[in-house]
Structures are given as structure tokens and as C-alpha cells.
Amino acid sequence: MKIVVLCGGTSPEREVSLNSGRAVAEALSQRGFGVELCDVSSISAFIKKWPAHKADGTFIALHGGWGEDGRIQAVFDAFGIRYTGSGPEACMLSMDKTAAKFAFAAAGVPVPQGFIATREDDGAARAEKFLAEFGGIIVKPNGGGSTVGVTRLSDISDYRAALELAWRSEKRALVEEFIAGEEVTVPVMEGADGRAAALPAIHIKPKVGFYDYKNKYTPGSTEYICPSDFPEKINSQLAELAVKAHNAIGCRCYSRIDFRVSENGAIYALEANTAPGMTTTSLVPKSAEANGMSFGEFLAEIIKLSFSIDRSER
């Protein structure tokens, strides 16, 4: 089987995507797949060249932008091109953090309080109230990932600068209460029967500050404990809520759900990732390995499961 691994793209997460693409291509090649690594600059350009690839399908290692917000998935559905992961609807929802939070809450998954801030209405008064009530806030782009443009602040004087950083990525910033506690992420994977189950949770422990872009991508800056060292009750709740969140927005095959666990053990879902990082040191492969699957085995299973989905069913 020949797979075209799609990476790069034009979003702020381009460099992360290139790293994911290279890692996926190497691991699939070692598993015996025919592999072609493709740095995609536009959907239309790729579609025009698709027949020349003579491939069986694609592995989406694109992060952010049109590679993860449902646009490329919708086009692939229209052209009958097989791809990995969720369909366009789930991708669209996951990339709109506010919409995803509404879906989570409707499914009984707790979420942090928050609001959208734009240049027309920056929500400064609400931000000040949040700071007084919660002691801290998080400002981040409403779409996108890889912790690009994320700021934690405790002083309203830093609010505008945090908004400007988020607005570099898009026009809408999401302002949320800061949940004092611990960062954790839970990958979810479907079985052959289509039922979703949680993989081992990963406790994310930055050595300094919070889990921002620097701590995420600077080697040695963050400790990852997998399976997590939370009490069994918390791990069980995380697994249940991760599956609920995965299903709430219609994810398929696999996803990664990010959470905060408060100091008193309350759990809050932050967002869903339909195309999470896929390097050998990324979080989803770490969890799969803790569950007994090598990186290559995990990728091969993702392809098998994804290509068996009937995309005509909605």
C-alpha cells in the first residue's frame, strides 16, 4: 500500500507539521508501506497532482488552518480520496474551541468559563472580572493549536498584549478562566467496531511556568508521565470524559482531548485535537506505546481504521 503523507501547510503550525510528516513517513516506510512525503501549499494544487501520486490514500499530518479545520477533508470526500482521522464536520468543530466547548458541555463534559474577544469588542471589563474571581486568565486563539499564541496572565495591564499575540493567528481570541491545577491529555482511539476507548492519560508537568509553546517544544522543559500518576478515580473520570468529548463532536478513528485537573480534583475539558502531533516524542504516540503499540504499529492501525470508514455516512 502506498501512502502520501501530507505535511507543512501554511498555518502557524507549519514547522510542527513538517516534523510530524517526516516522523510518520519514516515510521511507515519501516513498516513496509510505500511512502511519499508531500509538503502541501494549497489544496487545489494537491488535487491537480493527486492522480500522478498513484497512491492508495493519504495520512494527514497537517496541523492547523485548512489542513485541520475540515476544508481539506471535505475536498477529499468530494474527490473520493482516502485520508486518516476525522471528517470535515468534527475537524471544523475541533478547530473552533468555543463551538467545541458548547458540544462538550451539552454532552456533560465540564469546561472552563470563557468568552470571545475581538478588536471590535475586546472584553476588557469581563477579563477584569475574571481576574478578580479566578486570579488568572488564559488568552489564546479560538482556533489553531500547538500552544501558538497562548498567554497566561494575572494582571489586566498585560491583557492587550496577550490579545495582540492571539490575534496574529486569527481575528477571534478565546479568554478563559485559569484553572489552577495540573495539565493532562488523553488520546482516544476507536476499535474495529467503531467504538471509542481512551488510551493512557499523560500528566504534563512543565518545570517552570505553564505549558506554553516554549515548554512544549524546548527539550527538557517539561516532564511527561504516562500512564499518568493521578489517582485511579481521576484516571477513570478522565477516560470517560475523553470518550464523551470525542463522540460529542463526531471525531472518528482517533483524537486527543486536553484537560485541566483542578487542585480539588475537578476536571475541565479544554479542547479536542483531530490531527495531533505525530513525531516519535509527541503525546499520542507516547500514550500508544504505554498501551503496548509501537509508533509504526499505531500509525498502521490508524490507516487501517480510517480507510475502513464509510465517509458517505453523516
Are 104 and 219 contained in the same domain? yes
Q: Give the span between the Cα atoms of 52 and 312, in whole angstroms.
A: 25
228 is catalytic: no
**234 with 133, same domain?**
no
* Residues 189 and 167 reside in one and the same domain: no
Residues 228 and 285 in one domain: yes
What is the domain-level CATH number for residue 29?
3.40.50.20
Residue 119 or residue 208, greater confidence: 119
Question: If 0-12 CB within 10 Å is exposed, 13-18 middle and 19+ buried, where does residue 207 land?
Answer: exposed
Range of the domain at 211: 93-111+179-292
For residue 301, being part of any structural domain is answered with no
Q: Do 193 and 78 fall into the same domain?
A: no
| Cβ atoms of residues 221 and 206 within 8 Å | yes
- Is omega for the bond preceding 219 within 30 degrees of 0, making it cis? no
Quickly state the pLDDT bin for 146 (edges 50, 70, 90).
Answer: low
The pLDDT, as a whole number, for residue 147 is: 73
Establish if 26 belongs to a structural domain: yes
Q: Based on the fold, state whether residues 280 and 152 are members of the same structural domain.
A: no
Whether 146 is catalytic: yes
Q: How confident is the model at residue 145 (pLDDT cuts 50, 70, 90)?
A: low
215: domain CATH number? 3.30.470.20
Exactly one of 13, 183, 190, 301 is catalytic; name it.
Answer: 13
> Active site residue: 17, 86, 282, 287, which one?
282
Say yes or no: 59 and 71 in one domain. yes
Asked whether residue 288 falls in the same domain as residue 189, the answer is yes
Number of domains in the chain: 3
Question: In terms of domains, do 183 and 281 share one?
Answer: yes
Q: Is 271 annotated as a binding residue?
A: yes
133 is in an annotated binding site: no
Q: In the 8-state DSSP scheme, what is residue 199?
A: P
Predicted local distance difference test score (pLDDT) of residue 233: 97
pLDDT of residue 211: 79
Question: Are residues 100 and 245 both part of a single domain?
Answer: yes
Selected catalytic residue, list 146, 228, 287, 306: 146
Catalytic annotation present for 120 = no
Over the chain, what is the mean pLDDT? 94
Contact 85, 250 (CB under 8 A): no
Question: What's the rounded Cα separation, in Å, for the pair 87 and 96?
Answer: 15
Residues 221, 266, single domain; the answer is yes
- 193 carries a ligand binding annotation: no
Q: Give per-residue pLDDT as tens, 92-107.
A: 999 999 999 999 999 9
For residues 76 and 101, membership in a common domain is answered with no
Domain with residue 128: its CATH number is 3.30.1490.20
